Amino acid sequence: MIISLVVAVADNGVIGRDGGLPWRISSDLKTFRRLTMGKPLIMGRRTFQSLKKPLDGRDNIIVTSDPGLRPEGAIVVGNWPLALAEARRCAQARGVDEIMVIGGTSVFADALSAADRIYKTEVHGSPPGDALFPAIDWTQWEERSREKLPQGPRDDFAATLIVLERKSSTGAGSSTA
């Protein structure tokens, strides 16, 4: 089972502001949908709340310490290990081999040691924000592909999708791709 992080990161490390994205980049949203469709998603409560409702065609697994959070159409768990176990079950039921971790900061931090792949959209700008991608040792990762995303007239910044895979010498991942 491949564990993948899906993140858009600005040049200054920002991934969010005031519970949402600090930019508008329509090609990144389309790429996110394409990458995650049909797969289980693991996210934190604030990330889920920024979405307003569960994302269609995907299992939405929310990590939260709030026992009162019970949104219809989502699975709520109390910690990362439970989220990963639930995501594995959902992936097997769907017949897919990839679990997508979509944020926020603390969920990314919990998932990093288990991650095999990172779909990183580099946002070519430095907007202000209050959520940052956790520190990561990029020497443990190898770039597999790079794709400049089309920039529309209403997009705030240019962006590039980079797919990284954990180098096999670390032994942490299970990916063979």
Mean pLDDT of 66-87: 95
In a domain, 177, yes or no: no
Tens of pLDDT, residues 50-59: 998 999 999 9
In a domain, 176, yes or no: no
In a domain, 78, yes or no: yes
In a domain, 175, yes or no: no
In a domain, 7, yes or no: yes
In a domain, 164, yes or no: yes
Tens of pLDDT, residues 4-32: 999 999 999 999 999 999 999 999 999 99
Question: What is the domain-level CATH number for residue 162?
Answer: 3.40.430.10
Which residues fall within 8 angstroms of residue 40, CB to CB, at 6 or more apart? 58, 59, 61, 86, 87, 90, 91, 94, 96, 99, 100
**In 3D, which of 115, 50, 110 has the Cα closest to residue 79?**
110
In a domain, 86, yes or no: yes
pTM of the model: 0.92
Which residue shows structure tokens 């926020």? 104
In a domain, 89, yes or no: yes
Q: What are phi and psi of 159, to 5 degrees?
A: -150, 155
The CA distance from 133 to 149, in Å, is 20
User: Rg of the chain's alpha carbons, rounded to an integer?
Assistant: 15
Task: Count the domains in the chain.
Answer: 1
Structural domain span for residue 51: 2-170
